[in-house]
Structure 1
Amino acid sequence: MASILHVDPSPRGDRSKSRQLAKKFIDAWQDLHRDDVITYRDLRQTPVPHVTEDWIAASFTAPEALTPEMTELLKFSDELVNEFLAADRCVFSVPMYNFSIPSNFKAYIDQVVRVGRTFTEEDGQVKGLANGKKVLFITSRGVEFEAGSPYEGWDSQEPALRYAFQYIGVSDIQFIHANGLDMGGGAKTGARRSTI
């Protein structure tokens, strides 16, 4: 039995392509792995606040030195981090906005990439603490990014996601890209077989 965290950041509801694709994936997964436990978080329903100067100060304060106000500032972040660390596998459905990720998912990453929680610094070196976890990104993109396309090299989405999660120790990262969704004629998918 595995624990799977499924996060939908798209601000669009049922019209969201990334949500639709992730739901199909999760439904198919559950058919094959009935004992797995799915934890679902909808960032449209529970928006993630952007970090502030006070939040940053609190996140870099030793736990024993936190004031009640600092503890309160980190409360939601702690909830997100605990949820993330408790999962064996994560499925993130991420639409592409302006060649990168939606701001609410960047806010999610900023709340989860936490010193002392998901990474540490030792002798000037960063050490990720989320080792052994599998992460799958299911993305929806309006155009093609393959070699020879007009947008070749414009993809800032996959690198940003890959580097952020590698930084905290995740080495098993996979992508299923649904490309060309705004080009007509149906989606051209660069889907790869996944083994989350």
Structure 2
Amino acid sequence: MITLLHIDSSARSGRSDQWTHGSHTRRLSAQFVRQWQERRPRDAVVYRDLAEQPPAPVTGPWVHAAFTPPTQREPWMHQVLSQSDDLVAELIDADLIVIGVPMYNFGMPSTLKAWIDNIVRVGRTFGFDRSRTGEPYWPMLAGQGKRLVLLSSRGDYGYEPGERLGLRNHVEGGVTVPLDYIGIDQVDRVAIEYDEFSDKRLHASIAAAEAEVDALVERLAVALAGRRPAVREA
């Protein structure tokens, strides 16, 4: 058994397969999880809707508390970090992280950025030691077999590397770079494009993305079937 962490970040509450103005990313993430549960019904699924429960943004007191050694923290520091502690614990417990992330103004929703800022934590998900030889930073979640599935949507088209708007796509990199930094470097991506055109190209893109999701579920489920549980460190 593994644990799947399912995260939605779209501001739209409904799915595009149920509502005319619904979210494509919620549609894809729900499809992934549904197909996954059909194949692996014993796996645990933890769901977090960042639009319904947006994480608090990082503040000065948060930074002060996070960089204070745990044994030296005052009570208010534990309170400031309590939500971050919960988010970090969810991530540490997860083997497969499925994130639905629409493109807003070439980047991710602010709620997902706040989630990332809360889970990239010194002493919890990355280490730092000034006296360490070579690189003073290291990923604390590396070697645990964690995998990220990024399901995105874009209003325009041509956002893949080398395409007409590839350099303006700050969604995938904005998510994968910080997660790679903490040790989650296995990534699969599926995207829907042409949303603003609302024509046959959008319908074709949706159909292609849904087919990719089904194929991805099958491939990952087979790959994970015989995997031994990884040793985790808090």
Instruction: Give the TM-score of the pair, scaled to structure 1.
Output: 0.93
Paired with 1:182 and 1:149, the residues of 2 have a C-alpha distance of 18
- Give the counterpart letter for 1:129 in structure 2: M
Matched, 1:128 2:139: yes
Paired with 1:75 and 1:30, the residues of 2 have a C-alpha distance of 30
CA 1:168–1:146 in structure 2 vs 1: closer, same or farther (change >3 Å)?
closer
The answer for the alignment partner of 1:74 in structure 2 is 81
Larger Rg: 2
Q: 1:1-196 residue pairs with structure 2 within 5 A?
A: 1-14=1-14, 15-122=22-129, 123=132, 124-131=135-142, 132-144=145-157, 145-146=159-160, 149-183=163-197, 184-185=199-200, 186-187=202-203, 188=205, 189=208, 191=212, 193-194=215-216, 195=220
- Give the counterpart letter for 1:120 in structure 2: G
Q: 109-118 or 149-158, which moves further after superposition?
A: 149-158
Note the residue ranges of structure 2 that are not aligned, 5 or more in a row. Answer: 15-21, 222-234
Note the residue ranges of structure 1 that are not aligned, 5 or more in a row. Answer: none
Name the SS for the 2:167 alignment partner. Answer: coil
Q: 183-192 or 48-57, which moves further after superposition?
A: 183-192
CA 1:95–1:54 in structure 2 vs 1: closer, same or farther (change >3 Å)?
same
Paired with 1:149 and 1:117, the residues of 2 have a C-alpha distance of 37
- Give the counterpart letter for 1:126 in structure 2: Y
Instruction: Give the TM-score of the pair, scaled to structure 2.
Output: 0.79
Task: Give the superposition deviation at 1:45.
Answer: 1.8
CA 1:63–1:30 in structure 2 vs 1: closer, same or farther (change >3 Å)?
same
Task: Give the superposition deviation at 1:125.
Answer: 2.4
Task: Give the superposition deviation at 1:180.
Answer: 2.0
* CA deviation map 1:159-194 (0-9, x unaligned): 111111100011211111112222232242564742
* CA deviation map 1:51-86 (0-9, x unaligned): 000100100000000000000000000000001100
- When the two chains are superposed, the root-mean-square deviation of aligned CA atoms in Å is 1.7
Task: Give the superposition deviation at 1:130.
Answer: 1.5
Give the fraction of aligned pairs with identical amino acids, expressed as a percent.
34
Greater than 6 Å deviation, 4+ residue runs:
none
Task: Give the superposition deviation at 1:91.
Answer: 0.4
Paired with 1:113 and 1:167, the residues of 2 have a C-alpha distance of 8
More strand by share: 1
- Give the counterpart letter for 1:173 in structure 2: V
Matched length: 196
More helix by share: 2
